[in-house]
Structure 1
């Protein structure tokens, strides 16, 4: 991910800074209003749909990263188990499965009430974490949904930390 210059201008609206980050990475995006920004990002395994909403009355910024996968109704119980195990390992954010359409989403809200704005590093870390965790959990989802692998084996393989590069 392209990092922003440290001297980025603080704004009352953190979506202004997120828009700079998205533009710096040449991600397709749309800023439909002062309170919402959506972007399309290519991950390691699939495309991700990032949606961010600024709630000025709450002083909070919500970020979600939806994976390009739909969970068949017959696999939802196993995927709920998988996401519960994945969420236990997360320090930031959590995964949800939308019950009606079977969409998978990584979500996180950043409380900013009383802060003078969001730090560039804070925003970069949040977006990096969302993309990293989605890339990590995607293979486990595929193992469970299409490979009929046991949840424990799938999560162990997906959450294994590797050292070095091949």
Structure 2
């Protein structure tokens, strides 16, 4: 049986949604193609399952990757969560975290501008997905410390960063 990625070996590039679909399938993740321009799947992170969503905007040549760690912020915790988001985003080089105003869901988003041909390489796809999952894993404990442990945002981030540094 051939791998879904076998057709993309070497320097082959593909349409972004097709490449992400092949990558998700090769990794054994659940996958649903919502349209020609949108795909969703689920991956197990270190702390929880994350929903990954790739959205292609051909008119802008932008692929947006969204990772949703299934963290919902209660109304009474939104101020602390917003403060934590600001502190976390200061640490980010790629992508950022947001909280949807409707429902208080925490998400990680990263938009990638692709070349004029709108093609995505396997390496790019892997890097985008791995970065999204890694960032959600890295900061998941900080959100839990604020939302469930009632820690102050700075203390929660400091504790999460110490934990992340100490893991082997």
Give the TM-score normalised by structure 1: 0.90
C-alpha displacement at 1:8, in angstroms? 6.5
Q: Which runs of 4+ in 1 moved over 6 A?
A: none
Task: Say whether residues 1:61 and 2:63 are aligned partners.
Answer: yes
Cα shift at 1:7: 2.4
- Name 2:10's counterpart in structure 1: 7
1:100 to 92, 99, 102: 102
Matched residues in 2 for 1:33 and 1:68: separation? 23
Question: Secondary structure at 2:13's aligned position in 1?
Answer: coil
**Could you list the runs of 5+ residues in structure 2 that have no partner in the other structure?**
none
For structure 1, the 5+ residue unaligned runs are none
Q: Which residue of 1 aligns with 2:127?
A: 125
Do the aligned partners of 2:16 and 2:118 also contact (CA within 8 Å) in 1? no
Residues 71 and 145 in structure 1, CA contact (< 8 A), matched pair in contact too: yes
After TM superposition, give the deviation of residue 103 of structure 1 in Å.
0.3
In the alignment, the residues of structure 1 paired with residue 60 and residue 99 of structure 2 have an alpha-carbon distance, to the nearest angstrom, of 25
Query: Does 152-161 or 41-50 show the bigger shift?
Result: 152-161
The equivalent position to 1:83 in structure 2, one of 82, 85, 89, is 85
Residue 49 of structure 2 is matched in structure 1 by 47
Distance in 1 (alpha carbons) for counterparts of 2:156 and 2:124:
31
Task: Name the structure where helix makes up a greater proportion of residues.
Answer: 2
Aligned length: 161
